[in-house]
Amino acid sequence: MDHKIIAALERISQAFRVLLWNESKELGLTPIQIQTLIFLRHHSVEKRKISYLATELGVTKATISETVKTLLEKALIGKEYDPQDSRSFVIRLTPEGKKIAKQTGFFAGHIEKPIGRLEDADKETLFKSLTGIVHHLNQAGVIGIQRMCFTCAYYAQDRDGTPHFCKLMNIPLRTQDLRIDCPEHAPLH
């Protein structure tokens, strides 16, 4: 059974690559350019920097610098320089970049459909299992930054009679409330 689950996850991963590639081809962009635009659309200003993007997308700074250069040439992004440090800048989407990021954000629609048909209890079990795998991969150093509850300084286990608790919002978290990309995430030191 373990091997069958791994084989199924591998197929799903392949499906993500194919769907992203199809989307990229239609727009004349590369998959990493599309992923960069989608990330910029959904994340706050302090995360829209070259080094953060490189870690987030699991590529080198040189690759992201090249991606940013091309997206600038295509006028899909712009730079905002730090007034205190002229070498430091954050990246923002242009109106055209926002349009493409919005359009391509649905590239995984074919994967969403079968998930949408699952019973709520099955979704919860699947989510719990997948977050456990993501957490393990993060702890093992296979994947980089994860803004999930399990790696957050505000997360507490087994508090106030609940298995999960957010100390920032001061509320218990049900399994379906656990986050995997939380804007308030504070990394553990």
Q: Which residues bind ligand SF4 (CB under 6 A)?
A: 149, 152, 154-155, 166, 168-169, 179, 182, 184-185
Shortest distance, CB of residue 143 to ligand SF4, whole angstroms?
Answer: 16
Shortest distance, CB of residue 182 to ligand SF4, whole angstroms?
Answer: 3
Cα Dmax for the chain: 57
The number of residues in the chain equals 189
Q: Using only C-alpha atoms, what is the Rg of the chain? A: 19
Shortest distance, CB of residue 135 to ligand SF4, whole angstroms?
Answer: 12
For ligand SF4, the closer CB: 97 or 147: 147
Q: Write the CA distances from 155 to 40, 133, 137, 149, 172, integer angstroms.
A: 26, 18, 19, 6, 10
Closest CA to 40 of 105, 86, 85: 105
Closest CA to 59 of 145, 135, 131, 140: 145
Give the phi and the psi of residue 44 in degrees, each rounded to 5.
-75, 170
For ligand SF4, the closer CB: 52 or 155: 155
The residues, any chain, with a CB within 8 Å of residue 132's CB and separated by 6 or more, are: none
Gap between the Cα atoms of 41 and 64, Å rounded: 16
For ligand SF4, the closer CB: 67 or 131: 131
For ligand SF4, the closer CB: 118 or 169: 169
For ligand SF4, the closer CB: 8 or 153: 153
Shortest distance, CB of residue 134 to ligand SF4, whole angstroms?
Answer: 13
Shortest distance, CB of residue 185 to ligand SF4, whole angstroms?
Answer: 4
